[in-house]
Amino acid sequence: MIITFDKLPANLEELKAMPQATLSEPEYGAALFVAVMMHYSVNKGETFEMLDFLNGPYEVTEFQKQFIADRMAEGDHVVRSFFNGTSPDNDYTPSMPYTIETERGFNQEIDGRMRILIASSGADTKRFVTMRHKPSTNQWFLEDQMLLSQIRTPKSQDPWA
């Protein structure tokens, strides 16, 4: 499924106004995680408020906040690499409108969970987000993500380029 964003959310109200914020499909929450993380370097507090929304009944833990801080310390190029049109050669600059291509890791829900794969233009294999279904609201919430691992260095920062 290809998810398209005309603009990225800058706060919780903007996130909730997006059509994907219904979280009615597991791909919506996975793609929104990427969109929300683009705001991290601008305002960490607002980013965590938006992540709390994507997490459903659970708040982002201090451990998760530290993990994200460690992964984002070198910049947001890892997050940008999940948007279509990016590459190390263009310093992971996404094309407009922002699009993210998702793929279900398995076609059925297992114990209320579904793994959503997203390709990074800076990695050789797809990375995943685990979404958890909440039957009472028929929504899919973020349970775990494995997107923020190291990728190829952007060309402008690569001493070997």
Number of continuous H segments (helices) and E segments (strands) in the chain: 5, 5
pLDDT digits (tens, 9 = 90+) for 77-121: 999 999 999 999 999 999 999 999 999 987 777 889 999 999 999
Q: How far apart are CA 137 and CA 153, in angstroms?
A: 41
pLDDT digits (tens, 9 = 90+) for 56-84: 999 999 999 999 999 999 889 999 999 99
Q: Give the predicted TM-score (pTM) of the model.
A: 0.95
